Amino acid sequence: MTDAHLDDDCIFCRIIRGEIPCFKVLEDDDVLAFMDVNPIAPGHVLVVAKHHSKDILETPPEWTAKAFAGAGRAARAVQKTLAPDGINILQANGPGAKQSVFHLHVHVVPRSMDDGLTMNWGLVAGDMDEIGKLAVQIAANVE
């Protein structure tokens, strides 16, 4: 990994370069995982690719794969350490999804049955005709 793929003004790139301290969970040539200092649950880990791109839409596929492989490693460590009832793997893209740092990253969030977190949604049956039409449209844009 070289600094050629990092951005001078990105807080996560600065953490990767060691300019800002963090509580490391894992690090290899491709990813850095560290504790979120604004956790939504105890054990909340952030996994960042060591390649700066603002979101999953702009990230080369090989770096997306590396970020999610790192998230899997972090999730297994969180499970072994905390034995939560479940783990959410979250990745946000753009302001509408509440992305706050514009560098590809994955949240690993331990969950308990009654933790009160509201990121889940109820099941409401959709319109099958509309779902089918959207599926055709989206499939036509797969690269």
Q: Which residues are catalytic?
A: 105
Give the chain's largest Cα–Cα span.
Answer: 52
Strand arrangement, sheet containing 45-49: 24-27, 31-35, 45-49, 105-111, 86-90
Distance separating alpha carbons of residues 98 and 36, to the nearest angstrom: 16
Q: Which two tokens stand for residue 54?
A: 């603002």
The answer to whether 31 touches 67, Cβ cutoff 8 Å, is yes
DSSP string of 95-110, one letter each residue: GGGT--S-S-EEEEEE
